[in-house]
Structure 1
């Protein structure tokens, strides 16, 4: 298990979190668990299990129906305006489809990570300071892509595009990184490059990383802890040294019919 000190000071807490969509679909059902600061957490489960919903409640991309999501011991459920913008600055988000501006340069895509700090018009016009551009170069250096600084995003491979997305998130100086199926469309070699990058940032910068994955093998290779969801419910939660094959198999079992 995690050390007691980290358990008493979680960076994220879910308290009886429920999410029911307008059509009645249950996205999350009574989710309760804490995420210690600096942990590399992998969430696994079938498609539709609630993994993306869980991730997006942390930065309020999805609203919850009831319960509380706490970041640094503060409930974020009622955040609006400036408070919500400040929250999202602290939380980098990596998407499955990269979410890059394909015709823009790599540098411009990385600089767009500052949108939470500057007015939108300033970012659109490219009015960045020399210090901003230096930080963009440094962020690309962290993901080994400085040679692509002035390349267009659509000239890059999928793995390179995802590393640009990670560099963009680094511009926010985040304390939390959310990655929603970040390697779903990548081949094995580029998958390793992306996952290695996330793990290195977790270890070197102390960033708390939460990754949604389908691959149990990758989860076991990179995670400090594995959480499993099934039909919106938390059905598995173990530190990596206590994870077993039999336990992981339970995550993917369907419930017996009544």
Structure 2
């Protein structure tokens, strides 16, 4: 493994059972401490790629290495242990809405305790203290005993981040974490992820639709189109023309102009 490469994606392709191609020969490395943002149109393969990293999706070919170990070739206890290092944040938060914030955050320990102890809340005092600390990191400690469904969308997403922190992950995977949030709340959530990245050294890989957020928070931006990796550059060097390339805007604009000219002819 190349030095500092925490994630290595090697010739990864994904074809779904219905024949739809999700990924086409993806080669990508993510270094320790990076804040990598993946951009692209809906259906470009962003979620498929992200979910393949922690094997929520099985790939059709290729391999994915986490810290030099193939997650594709791992199973049983070995796979469960590897997944502790890979926390996942979802667009729809994936909280138990009727449960308390406390219970939702502590459920992040399921990879250590198993389902039985997690279901019956058999937590240690030190676990509860750690849950409070995790909420403090996202400025929500005062919501510890509130029900999750009493919180705003932004607060729920930040609870989801606190839950992910309980895993003590090396990598945070965020699948459109701001898609259902307003701009101000989106910035708060991204601020939390950036803080974890900079202050705790957690590597972040996030899918985003918002170009401005990608430029503001990423250290590196990659682009997918039609399941293919079409762009990879340090965020500080990315321009509007680069986004046009990723989203194939020039082609679309040209088609519009042709249609317009034909209509006027």
TM-score normalised by length of structure 2: 0.93
Match of 1:84 among 79, 85, 88: 79
Partner of 2:146: helix, strand, or coil? coil
- Out of 158, 164, 169, which is 1:163 matched to? 158
Q: Displacement, 1:188?
A: 1.1
Q: Tell me the residue number matched to 2:259.
A: none
Alignment-derived partner of residue 100 in structure 2: 105
Aligned residues: 252
Give every structure 1 segment of 4 or more consecutive aligned residues whose post-TM-superposition deviation is greater than 2 Å: 6-9
Residue in structure 1 matched with residue 32 of structure 2 by the alignment: 37
Bigger radius of gyration, 1 or 2?
Answer: 2
Rounded to whole Å, the distance in 1 between the matches of 2:84 and 2:139 is 23
Find the partner of 2:17 among 11, 15, 22: 22
Shift of 1:8: 2.9
1:154 aligns with 2:149: yes
Structure 1 residues 79 and 255, CA gap change in structure 2 (3 angstroms): farther
DSSP-derived class of the 2:113 partner: coil
**Can you list the C-alpha shifts for 1:80-131, whole angstroms capped at 9, x where unaligned?**
1101101111111000000000011100000000001112111111110101
What are the Cα deviations for residues 212-237 of structure 1, in whole angstroms up to 9, with x where unaligned? 00011110010000000001000000
Is 1:237 matched with 2:232?
yes
User: How much does 1:244 deviate?
Assistant: 1.4
Show the 5 A alignment for 1:136-215: 136-215=131-210
Structure 2 unaligned blocks of 5 or more: 252-265
Cα deviation for residue 156 of structure 1 reads 0.3
Please, which of 69, 80, 89 is the counterpart of residue 74 of structure 1? 69
Residues 6 and 67 of structure 2 are in contact (CA less than 8 Å); yes or no, is this contact kept in structure 1? yes
CA distance in structure 1 between the partners assigned to 2:165 and 2:31 by the alignment: 20
Q: Unaligned regions of 5+ residues in structure 1, if any?
A: 1-5
Q: TM-score, length-normalised on structure 1?
A: 0.95
Q: For residues 36-91 of structure 1, what are the alpha-carbon distances to aligned partners after superposition, in whole Å with 9 as ceiling and x for unaligned?
A: 00100000000000000000111000001001111111111111110110111111
Which moves more between the two structures, 175-184 or 240-249? 240-249
Partner-residue secondary structure (3-state), 2:149: helix
**CA RMSD between the two structures:** 1.5
What SS class does the counterpart of residue 35 from structure 1 fall into?
strand
Mean CA deviation greater in 231-240 or 72-81: 72-81
Per-residue deviation, residues 150-205 of structure 1 (Å, max 9, x unmatched): 00000000000000000000000000000000000001111011000000000000
